[in-house]
Amino acid sequence: MIRLVVTDLDGTFWDEDLAVPEPHRQTVAALRDRDVEVMVATSRRHRVVAEHLGRAGLAVAAVVLDGAMGVHLGTGIRFHDARFPAPAAHRVLEAFRRHGMEPCAYVDEADIDVVLPPEPASCPAYVEYLRPIARTGNLDELVSAGGVYGFSVLGRDRPDLSPIASTIARTGAETTLFPEDRFDGWGLVVAPPAVTKWNGVAAYAASIGVSPEQVLAVGDGDNDVDMLRRAGTAVAVRGGTEGVLDAADHLIDPPSRHGWAAIVELATSGHA
């Protein structure tokens, strides 16, 4: 019996506009009526997720930054924290610098989500987008203090980022390379070693007495593969990456076709 549904957001629950389709909001309500809880797991930041889900009236548990942090958007309770150990963060920072790039660093400060280096490698449009919740700082001091949850560079060409991703992967950190249409390029997000979305999902599931077999996971990208493999039931979005499709027990349509509306049947009909 499924008791918890965890879903990726971009390309799974919503489209590029970050708006929750009404059929998907109704599906969340229908699942709750059947005593099935819904949570989200995403590479996005806590504040972005809270803002856009809040517009649809959804205050759910959220695993953010690809598994580095878990917080309930309704209660504010932190149920998972997996920031970089300082030595691992230094290795990632040096890997970026060997390729001539200064990444953004994700943090958890009162009014700040991101620390920018003096000369960020991300595209100017992304840097300006971050300004309201960012500050400029010394990344070496930041990583030495042990307060980093992730790194990123967005809005660059894939050939610029692929070699960096390979170098960073050799440090043991988790890397996700993905198309970022909003900023006309590709993005590279780096999470702490051995940390995936599943770490946060497992922590929340344990806190509410749900076993992995009682979890249904939905996703479309390579950063969802570990989550789908470990959940009792795996659902992928048609058009997703090869890895996520291979891990799936079921397929649904993309958000543009309101595919997530099929989750209520998969979670409650005994097919899961």
**Do 226 and 197 touch, CB atoms closer than 8 A?**
yes
pLDDT higher than threshold 60 for residue 68? yes
The answer on 97 and 57 residing in a single domain is no
Q: Which of the four pLDDT bands, split at 50, 70 and 90, describes residue 266?
A: very high
Q: What is the dihedral of CA 52, 81, 86, 188, to 10 degrees?
A: -30
Residue-level pLDDT at 181: 79
The answer on 91 and 187 residing in a single domain is yes
pLDDT (tens digit per residue) in 100-131: 999 999 999 989 999 999 999 999 999 999 99
Residue-level pLDDT at 36: 98
Which alpha helices (H) appear in 116-224, and where do they start and end?
124-130, 139-144, 158-169, 197-207
pLDDT higher than threshold 90 for residue 142? yes
Q: Which domain holds residue 65?
A: 4-81+196-268
Report the number of distinct structural domains present in the chain: 2
Q: Which of the four pLDDT bands, split at 50, 70 and 90, describes residue 234?
A: very high
CATH code where residue 54 lies: 3.40.50.1000
The residue from 140, 170, 191 where one domain ends is 191
Question: What percentage of residues in the chain have a pLDDT greater than 70?
Answer: 99
Q: Which of the four pLDDT bands, split at 50, 70 and 90, describes residue 182?
A: confident
The residue from 191, 217, 238 where one domain ends is 191
Hunting for tokens 């891990």 — which residue is that? 247
Q: How many CA atoms lie less than 13 Å away from 83 in the CB half-sphere? A: 14
The residue from 174, 191, 208 where one domain ends is 191
Identify which has the larger pLDDT, 196 or 179.
196
Residue-level pLDDT at 180: 85
Q: Mean of the per-residue pLDDT values for the chain?
A: 96
- Residue 253's nearest CA partner among 31, 2, 41, 11 is 11
pLDDT (tens digit per residue) in 14-50: 998 999 999 999 999 999 999 999 999 999 999 999 9
